[in-house]
Copies of this chain bind each other. A is one copy, B any other.
């Protein structure tokens, strides 16, 4: 029995990374000597697969592969499950057919289904042939759902019991297991037809008298999901009701699998991340040590979209070149009008996208929101537009230029509010995720719109 470490678990990991990096760096250009290899191998053996995944993700490609070679082959599978997609690709590319098959053998059906998409397609027949009939069916079932459906995340390992036995019998039954499936916090009660009739939380099994029957103690589980449910909505339910596991049933209430909190935590994190990546203009999560070529591919599509919108805005300015030539202050002031519109529009859209993601907007409330956002924009426009208008007046000694500036800012903020509510609501109506891309759309509108409004007003009133 070792003593419990008084040291907190949060500091451990980065230290381990530093220690491993140090061993690797000591032999920068040469092969690692056998002694260092043995030392590293031992260090790695003691680590949790998720920690090894963290370390692999934190290393540049050459060092990453050096470490990967030192990991015991029977742990390859669980580590591949933990690393990010980009890093997984780089590891699999380094493995030969036998290594991949050996790694796959250590995994459950649902884990295998996660991995299959990243394996060379040519290997699939061989891989499937190595499974027994039930596993094969489970892998195929998991693969038959979309990535964002619950069915793709289901787990098939679970403990089921009958309702016509006593808790004593259940306790004895559980003692026959070597271990219970990870995260098990409740047992599923099914009848002879595999129909789910209720659940028995382990807590209730423990606090109730062993003489009681399962049917007396169990509860009908109202938190039951379908494999076609949207994974993110289920994750919200897990968060809302503090669930650890939940049964997944088909439309006739047959129990087909279960879903666990760790899969749902991943979904919650990924949802936040895909929004952050899209806002940041990245197509997908990027291995920080990706090759230059992989990075370029990941970033080109958004840069191209941005160039197109910038080009459109530039052509809008081009329409007013005569006015700018006559009054060059317009060129100086126009980015302010465009910028504040984009900023304000993004504020509105951020709030609306959040509310839509939580399903909190009804048809009735959309109207109210529009009214509120337009009012906020009007006040912001008069206030900040007024400030900048006065500054423009003082800088260029022209009251009318100041007035045009104030008017243009107010109008662009109103456009931003209108589009800030309208774009995400419309995207949702057409079945698209408003978190992805709506920020680019509104910025494009407030840029081109801002230039058009400001230069248009200036052409009418000033030039």
Q: Which residues of B contact A317 (CB under 8 A)?
A: 331-332, 335
Contact indicator A229/B332 (Cβ below 8 Å): no
Q: Tell me how far the C-beta of A260 lies from the nearest C-beta in chain B, rounded to whole angstroms.
A: 8
Contact indicator B333/A277 (Cβ below 8 Å): no
A window 200-216: CB within 8 A of B: 202-203, 205-209, 215
Contact indicator B280/A347 (Cβ below 8 Å): yes
Contact indicator B384/A223 (Cβ below 8 Å): no
Other than the given A281-B344, A281-B346, 5 more pairs (CB < 8 A) read: A265-B265, A280-B350, A288-B369, A307-B387, A335-B335
Contact indicator B54/A358 (Cβ below 8 Å): yes
Q: In the complex the two chains form, what is the Cα distance from A197 to B332 in whole Å? A: 69
Given A225-B10, A272-B273, the answer on whether A289 and B25 have CB atoms closer than 8 Å is: no
Contact indicator B380/A224 (Cβ below 8 Å): no
Contact with B along A164-205 (1 / 0, CB 8 A): 000000010011011110111100000000001110001101
Q: In the complex the two chains form, what is the Cα distance from A318 to B206 in whole Å? A: 76
A242 CB-CB contact with B under 8 Å: yes
8 Å CB contact of A359 from B13, B60, B313: B13
Contact indicator A244/B241 (Cβ below 8 Å): no
A360 CB-CB contact with B under 8 Å: yes
A window 245-265: CB within 8 A of B: 246, 249, 251-253, 261-262, 265
Q: Name 5 interchain pairs, CB-CB below 8 A, sorted by A.
A: A5-B224, A6-B252, A321-B329, A325-B328, A331-B331
Q: Which residues of B contact A14 (CB under 8 A)?
A: 359
Q: In the complex the two chains form, what is the Cα distance from A324 to B239 in whole Å? A: 56
Q: Which residues of B contact A202 (CB under 8 A)?
A: 202, 206
A220 CB-CB contact with B under 8 Å: yes
A48 CB-CB contact with B under 8 Å: yes
A133 CB-CB contact with B under 8 Å: no
Q: Tell me how far the C-beta of A240 lies from the nearest C-beta in chain B, rounded to whole angstroms.
A: 4
Q: Which residues of B contact A300 (CB under 8 A)?
A: 380
A70 CB-CB contact with B under 8 Å: no
A window 10-69: CB within 8 A of B: 10, 13-14, 17-18, 21, 25, 48, 50-51, 54, 57-58, 60
Q: In the complex the two chains form, what is the Cα distance from A252 to B5 in whole Å? A: 10
Q: In the complex the two chains form, what is the Cα distance from A201 to B197 in whole Å? A: 27
**Chain A's interface: helix, strand, loop or mixed, by majority?**
helix
Contact indicator B174/A207 (Cβ below 8 Å): yes
Q: Tell me how far the C-beta of A398 lies from the nearest C-beta in chain B, rounded to whole angstroms.
A: 14
The 3 closest A-B pairs by CB, nearest first: A280-B350, A272-B272, A331-B331
Q: Which residues of B contact A198 (CB under 8 A)?
A: 1, 4
Contact indicator B234/A10 (Cβ below 8 Å): yes
Q: Which residues of B contact A387 (CB under 8 A)?
A: 307
Q: Which of A108-116, A124-132, A371-379, A426-434 contacts B (4 or more CB under 8 A)?
A: A371-379
Contact indicator A324/B328 (Cβ below 8 Å): yes
A299 CB-CB contact with B under 8 Å: yes
Q: In the complex the two chains form, what is the Cα distance from A344 to B302 in whole Å? A: 9
Q: In the complex the two chains form, what is the Cα distance from A233 to B54 in whole Å? A: 14
Given A206-B171, A240-B54, the answer on whether A224 and B9 have CB atoms closer than 8 Å is: yes
Contact indicator B9/A299 (Cβ below 8 Å): no
Given A5-B224, A10-B230, the answer on whether A360 and B279 have CB atoms closer than 8 Å is: no
Contact indicator B380/A21 (Cβ below 8 Å): no
A362 CB-CB contact with B under 8 Å: yes
